[in-house]
């Protein structure tokens, strides 16, 4: 029997000292953990990183569902950063790390004496990564940011919504996870280089800046139009292109159909039982259909409204026309194929199983295997032993002294 997931050891031996919290940093280090790096979260002994407790979790759990999702396959140690001995401990770990990463408020890591220059002096080969809301040199470099602030100031909100409505925040947490992905790529590039050269790197990304990377399509729209890219929601100047209502008419009973190419349009006509229109110049080009947009869309809508979205997607897709039912999170969670293929996996937390989205890329047919997010301080003995050669007695003493 073939397993759908397997431990992945691409980054075997890579040590990541992780001082990040919430999502932009943790999503980055989780990607490295999926690939097999040893990611060690450094957390406040008094409650851990705020992502553990800022959201709800299962009954009896000290940790939130949110924390589960963004910290899979990592280890956790506690260190009191208000203690001199705690700070010294982090510096000792930095000497042993390949990568150190933080996403604290601007200026905080430097005030702790753990800034880039300090750490580089201890470990010149380290890859030192920082995620902030706004870039160094930006007028807002000292400002605080969360996902929605980056999405407002980074342009994604300005292009999401109805043309005559207000800007809408996309439901995706792109300001966080989107930014984290660009940093993960950069760390991996630096690691590849370092394996050959031993050279360290200072890496910096701002959430606002990273948003521009994800709205490049809008920048080309602007280049074409000569004005800011508008919000165009689901509308298009061609047809059929957009969402169409399906039976029985619930909030997410819609299907996106896109048949701009001529061959796709012809296939769709066959499915609709309108082969008579194939070759008809009134409908033959995208431009011609754009001039009859309401009529063309009505033809499609009349067909979709009599099917449920799953049947509609099956039939339109099988006809060779791009189509996607609007699926909600529960439908995705309950679709067996995601579990069979290792895209959704179940983590065994002490408070019970939790099914969650995992790394979506398959390596030789299998996704990386999910291990549950760590309990606070779960790996103190293991990590301080492995990295720093401490005995269990040493670790206990640090605990008694309130250092960890």
Site residues for its own copies, window 174-203 (CB under 8 A)? 174, 176-178, 181-186, 188-193, 195-196, 201-203
Nearer to its own copies, 216 or 400 (CB): 216
Q: Report in angstroms how near the CB of residue 393 gets to its own copies at its nearest.
A: 36
CA of 107: how far to CAs of 18, 117, 126, 157, 339, in Å?
17, 13, 20, 28, 43
Annotated catalytic residue within 98, 147, 176, 253: 176
Asked if 70 is part of the footprint of its own copies (rule: CB under 8 A), the reply reads yes
**Contact set for its own copies, span 216-255 (CB under 8 A):** 216-224, 227-229, 231-234, 241, 243, 251-252, 254-255
CA of 292: how far to CAs of 4, 61, 256, 259, in Å?
47, 57, 19, 14
Asked if 66 is part of the footprint of its own copies (rule: CB under 8 A), the reply reads yes
Asked if 81 is part of the footprint of its own copies (rule: CB under 8 A), the reply reads no
Candidates 107, 125, 279, 365: give the one binding its own copies (CB under 8 A): 365
Residues contacting 166, CB < 8 A, separation 6+: none
Nearer to its own copies, 1 or 251 (CB): 251
Q: Report in angstroms how near the CB of residue 370 gets to its own copies at its nearest.
A: 13
Contact characters 133-152, its own copies, x per CB under 8 A: x-xxxxxx-xxxxx-xxxxx
Tell me how far apart the alpha carbons of residues 228 and 163 are, in angstroms, rounded to a whole number. 13
Asked if 109 is part of the footprint of its own copies (rule: CB under 8 A), the reply reads no
Nearer to its own copies, 67 or 384 (CB): 67
Asked if 347 is part of the footprint of its own copies (rule: CB under 8 A), the reply reads no
Nearer to its own copies, 288 or 326 (CB): 326
Of 348, 367, 375, the closest CA to residue 35 belongs to 367
Q: How many residues bind its own copies (CB under 8 A)?
A: 145
Residue 251: exposure state from Cβ atoms within 10 A (0-12, 13-18, ≥19)? exposed
Nearer to its own copies, 9 or 391 (CB): 9
Asked if 12 is part of the footprint of its own copies (rule: CB under 8 A), the reply reads yes
**Contact set for its own copies, span 307-336 (CB under 8 A):** 313-314, 317-318, 320-333
Asked if 11 is part of the footprint of its own copies (rule: CB under 8 A), the reply reads yes
CA of 141: how far to CAs of 135, 158, 205, 368, in Å?
5, 22, 12, 37
Tell me how far apart the alpha carbons of residues 17 and 40 are, in angstroms, rounded to a whole number. 5
Q: Token pair of 401, please?
A: 């002294």
Nearer to its own copies, 264 or 369 (CB): 264
The phi, psi pair for 115, rounded to 5°, reads: -70, 175
Residue 329: exposure state from Cβ atoms within 10 A (0-12, 13-18, ≥19)? exposed
**Strands 352-357, 241-245: parallel, antiparallel or unpaired by DSSP?**
unpaired
Quick check: is 276 catalytic?
no
Q: Token pair of 139, please?
A: 């007028």
Q: Report in angstroms how near the CB of residue 115 gets to its own copies at its nearest.
A: 14
Catalytically annotated residues:
176
């Amino acid at each position: 029997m073939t397993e759908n997931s397997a431990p992945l050891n691409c980054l075997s031996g890579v040590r990541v000292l992780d001082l990040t919290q919430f999502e932009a940093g943790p999503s980055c280090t989780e990607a490295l953990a999926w690939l097999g790096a040893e990611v060690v979260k450094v957390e406040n002994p008094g409650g851990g990183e705020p992502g553990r407790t800022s959201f709800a979790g299962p009954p009896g759990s000290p940790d939130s569902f949110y924390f589960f999702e963004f910290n899979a396959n990592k280890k956790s140690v506690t260190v009191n950063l208000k203690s001199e001995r705690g700070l010294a401990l982090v510096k000792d770990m930095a000497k042993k790390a390949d990568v150190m990463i933080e996403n604290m408020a601007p200026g905080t890591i430097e005030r702790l004496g753990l800034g880039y220059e300090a750490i580089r002096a201890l470990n010149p080969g380290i890859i030192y990564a920082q995620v902030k809301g706004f870039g160094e040199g930006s007028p807002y470099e000292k400002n605080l940011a969360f996902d929605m602030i980056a999405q407002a100031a980074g342009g994604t909100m300005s292009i999401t919504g109805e043309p005559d409505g207000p800007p809408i925040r996309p439901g995706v947490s792109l300001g966080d996870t989107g930014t984290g992905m660009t940093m993960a790529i950069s760390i991996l590039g630096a690691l590849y280089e370092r394996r050959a050269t031993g050279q360290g790197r200072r890496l910096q990304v701002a959430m606002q800046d990273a948003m521009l990377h994800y709205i490049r399509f809008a920048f080309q729209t602007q280049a074409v139009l000569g004005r800011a890219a508008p919000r165009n929601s689901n509308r298009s100047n061609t047809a059929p292109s957009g969402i169409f209502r399906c039976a029985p008419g619930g909030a997410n009973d819609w299907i996106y159909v896109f048949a701009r190419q001529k061959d796709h349009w012809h296939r769709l006509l066959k499915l609709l039982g309108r082969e008579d229109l194939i070759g008809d110049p009134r409908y033959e080009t995208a431009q011609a259909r754009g001039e009859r947009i309401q009529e063309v869309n009505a033809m499609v809508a009349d067909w979709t409204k009599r099917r449920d979205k799953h049947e509609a997607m099956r039939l339109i897709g099988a006809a060779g026309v791009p189509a996607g039912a609007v699926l909600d999170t529960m439908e995705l969670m309950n679709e067996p194929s995601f579990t069979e293929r290792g895209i959704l996996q179940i983590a065994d937390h002490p408070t019970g199983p939790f099914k969650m989205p995992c790394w979506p890329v398959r390596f030789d047919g299998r996704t990386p295997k999910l291990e549950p997010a760590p309990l606070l301080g779960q790996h103190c003995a293991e990590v301080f032993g492995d990295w720093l050669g401490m005995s269990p007695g040493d670790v206990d003493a640090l605990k008694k002294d309130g250092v960890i």
